[in-house]
Each structure stands twice: as C-alpha cells, then as structure tokens.
Amino acid sequence: MASRIRIDLDSPVPATRQIADALRVELVEGRLKPGDELPSVRRAAVDLGLHFNTVADAYRQLAAEGWIDLKHGRSARVAERKAPAASRDAVAGYRQRLRALVSQMRADGISSRRIADELETLAKGVLS
Amino acid sequence: MMASFQWLILFETLMLTDLLLLRLTRGRDRLTAIVMAEARGIRASRIFCGAVMAIALVGGLVIALSPEEVLFPWLLPVLIMVPAVAASLLFRWQRRAVLSLEAEQAPRKAVLDLAGEPTPQALWLAALPPLITAGLVYVLAAQWSSLVLRDPAPVPATTPWHDPGFKGLVSFLVFGVVWNVYFGILSLMMWYGVSRQYAFRRSQVQAAVALSWSQTLLMPAWVLPLWLRLSPIGLLVCAVSFAVGTGLLVRFGRRARRDWQASDMPPSSYRFYYDRNDPSAFGERGTNLGNPWNWALFTAPAVFLALPLWSLW
C-alpha cells in the first residue's frame, strides 16, 4: 500500500466528498486491501490541511458503506466487504448519472471519440 | 545581585519571546506576510526589532545595575510591558494595512499519502535529557558537602537546598530542563502535528532532539566550572561535554542544510533562503539568511545571553 490521494482545496466539491470518493477509488481498484491500515483521522487532517471533522465525516461515510472498520482508539482499517446486490432502481440511477456526466463532458468540448476511449479504458479496468 | 540576575533572565527571555512572536505570527499568517513584503511593512518590522533590542540592552543594564527597591513596584513591569504593547500595536497595524492589499491566489492542492510510517527512534531519545539533568541535580545534592565552591556562603547551610550557591546552580539546570521539555514537545509536535509533505519534518524532529541533548550537555559544562572548583578530570569531562554538545549542533545543522538542498519543494515552501538583495528578514519565502542587515536581528539572542553573563561576573 503506497498510493496517494489528491484533494483540490479550491474545488466546489466539498472536501469530505473528495476524500471519500478518492479513497473509494483506491478501495474498488484494489490498491487498498482488507486489513490495510488507513492514516488516522488526525494524521490525514494534518497532511491535507483540513479540519479533523471533515476527514472524520469522510471516514464515517466509508464506514457506513462497509468499506472501512472504525473502532475507537485504533486506526481505521479496510474491512472485508461483500458487495450488496444492486437493485434495478439503483442501476437506473447510475445509468442516469453516467449519461449526465457524458453530456457534461460533451458540453465541455470533449470529443465523442475521446469520451468513448475513456469509457472503454474504464470498462477494461472494471472487467480486469 | 542574585535577585537582579533572576529578573534579568526573565526580562531577556520575555524580550526574546516578543521577537519570536513576531516571527511565528508572520510564519502562520499569510496576510501578515504580504504586508511584510512591502517596504513600509519591512520598515515597521525593523523599527520594532530595533526597539526591542534597544530595550533589551538598556533595560537589561538598568535591571542589572538597579537596586531591588527601584525595580519594584514600577520599573520592571514598565520595561516588560513596553515591548509587549509595541508588538500588539504592530500586529494591529499589519492587520489594517493588509485590507488595502490583494492576496495572490495560488491553486491549493493537498496530498494524502496512504502509506504508514514508523515512529522515529529519535523521539524516544527526547525523553532522556530531563532525566539526565534531574539525575545530575540529585548527584550534586548528595555530594554538595564534598564539593569546593568558588564563592562559598559565609555560614554553611544545613542542607544543600538551603545553600544559595546550590540553589543558584540548580536554577540554571532547572532552566535547562524547561528547554529540554520544550524541545521534547517541539519534536512531538513536529512529528505528529506537521504535514508529511513538509520536506524538513524529519530533520526538524531530529534537530529538536539534538538541541535538547546539546543543551543538556552544554549547560552543565558551562555552569559547573563557574560555580565549582573542579579537578582536572572534572574540567576534562566538562570540556568533552561541551565539545559533544557543540558537535551535535553542527552535525544536525549540516544535515538540515543537506535536506534543504536535496528537497524538491517549491521556493515558497522554504523555511530559510539566501538572498542578499531581498530586504525582508521574515516573509512569504521564509527566513532570509542572505541579507547582512538581518544578522543584527539573528544575533540578538547573543545579547540576551551576554547580559546575564555580564551580570553574573
């Protein structure tokens, strides 16, 4: 485990969400494995220059999703997580979000070819 | 003389604190740093530093030469309050002045390394210096009657703790313990309270521990020969202690410089830099060691050390 996450402190996206999203990517892509220790909330807050509660909220969010195990007086650890069965509504919701994201990319001037390449790369990563 | 000496130590420490406060405020406060990049900010800072040093020098002489009844109830508090009020006014002026300036906006990115890191062994070494000094005080108390003082009391005390000579010597060592604890806390704060992205974090932790040890070695090597008539072996031990204490300072100073040179941090992140043409002593870029004028400020602690020594002799 030697990966890093990056946070944009000037982004309109709240820092809590950025931390949770970045850690989730590490978890889903397997760079963080069950049993791995995460930096303590205090350490992460100092390194990122954020308030303790901002990082704690992100950790709690991941704990609620079952990704990490939070126990008082101990560093957060990556938990064994069984993927829940996604409902049809959830899949439809994600499809809608993906379409919205692709539309946003096109609106920002990214070519259709480029978007397709990016999605293909992502799809290969998901299947590997 | 001894009471004046203790007030002198207190006074000079407070003066030094005023200068350090200015440094710390600028280091932590980005807006103040912007003001200090302006000519008027630099000028105000120089006037303030010069005034503090002048008060330290003149006030120190006054305390050293004045009898107790003149120092109290008004002279000492006034001397202590003047630079504190001046510092407060300077900070207020900086805050007001900054309103007319625009802060430059740099993109702010933060990185979190997910890898763990072991606690450095050096942190444990920070716990030893206070214990060593406490042990030295214990040994001195146990052996006090067999030690030869340079300036013995006319009437021998029943216990070392009632002997003015012993109390004077121990007050120095206790003063050293205070610094030991300070450096110990500083090393802990540097390790646990500073971002891991800060390139000098490890070297500053080691430097704090080294300073604690060097102080533990230098202080007895300095005060024991002043108070006691030591045997040649005792003097040799003090000389070795002094040499090792100084060597520690030099070694960790060099290591910090090496870290600085090897660092890939942007120039704005340096704590120290060398620029002869930059008039600021402390500013956005850090502490400028390249401007000769700044050395007047950096050598101020020598004044603070020299005055109490002069008073003692």
Q: Which element (helix H / strand E) includes B111?
A: strand B109-113
Report the pLDDT averaged over residues B27-56. 67
Let me know: does B151 contact B165? Beta carbons within 8 Å: yes
* C-beta atoms of A4 and B116 within 8 A: no
Q: Which residues contact B89 (CB under 8 A, 6 or more apart)?
A: none
* Phi, psi (rounded to 5 degrees) for A78: -70, 130
How buried is residue B29: exposed, middle or buried, by Cβ count under 10 Å (0-12/13-18/19+)?
Answer: middle
Which residue on chain B is closest to A32 by alpha carbon? B114
Confidence of residue A20 (pLDDT cuts 50, 70, 90): very high
* C-beta atoms of A39 and B114 within 8 A: yes
B81-116 tens-digit pLDDT:
777 777 777 766 666 665 555 545 556 788 888 887
- The yes-or-no verdict on residue B69 having pLDDT over 90 is no
Let me know: does B9 contact B308? Beta carbons within 8 Å: yes
Report the pLDDT averaged over residues B118-132. 87
Among B298, B284, B308, smallest CA distance to B226 is for: B308
A38 sits in the region (left: phi over 0; alpha: psi -120 to 50; else beta) called beta
CA distance B90 to B93: 5
Q: Can you say whether the dihedral through the CA atoms of A90, A91, A96, A100 is positive or negative? A: positive
Buried/exposed code over B95-110 (b: 16+ C-beta within 10 A; e: otherwise)? eebbeeeeeeeeeeeb
How buried is residue B133: exposed, middle or buried, by Cβ count under 10 Å (0-12/13-18/19+)?
Answer: buried
Q: What pTM does this model have?
A: 0.59
**Residue located via tokens 């030869």:** B148
On the question of a cis peptide bond just before residue B67, with omega within 30 degrees of 0, the verdict is no
CA distance B214 to B208: 10
> Number of CB pairs < 8 Å for A and B?
62
ipTM: 0.73
The Cα-based distances of B212 to B122, B125, B301, B302 in angstroms read 11, 9, 17, 19
The Cα-based distances of A72 to A75, A76, B34, B111 in angstroms read 8, 9, 42, 25
Which residue on chain A is closest to B117 by alpha carbon? A39
Which residue on chain B is closest to A55 by alpha carbon? B112
Residue B278 confidence (pLDDT):
63
CA distance B22 to B137: 35
| Chain A partners within 8 Å of B192 (Cβ) | 42-43, 46
Interface probe for B, chosen from A23, A46, A51, A74 (most Cβ of B below 10 Å), is: A46
- Return the number of other C-beta atoms located less than 10 Å from residue A67's C-beta: 22
- B282 has which bridge partners? B287
Among A56, A65, A44, A69, smallest CA distance to A16 is for: A56
CA distance A45 to A25: 19
A78-113 tens-digit pLDDT:
988 887 777 888 899 989 999 999 999 999 999 999
Instruction: Determine which of A65-79, B29-43, B66-80, B247-261 has the lowest per-residue pLDDT on average.
Output: B29-43
CA distance B54 to B139: 41
Contacts 24+ apart (CB under 8 A), A72-77: A75/A37, A75/A38, A75/A39, A75/A40, A76/A37, A76/A38, A76/A40, A76/A41, A77/A35, A77/A36, A77/A37, A77/A38
Let me know: does B237 contact B185? Beta carbons within 8 Å: no
| Chain A partners within 8 Å of B190 (Cβ) | none
Domain ranges of chain B: 1-102, 119-313
B265-310 tens-digit pLDDT:
554 455 566 666 666 666 556 666 666 666 766 666 666 656 655 5
- Taking the Cβ of residue B302 and every Cβ of chain A, the question of whether any pair is shorter than 8 Å is answered with no
Q: Which residues contact B1 (CB under 8 A, 6 or more apart)?
A: B311
Let me know: does A5 contact B111? Beta carbons within 8 Å: yes
B165-191 tens-digit pLDDT:
888 888 888 888 888 888 888 888 888
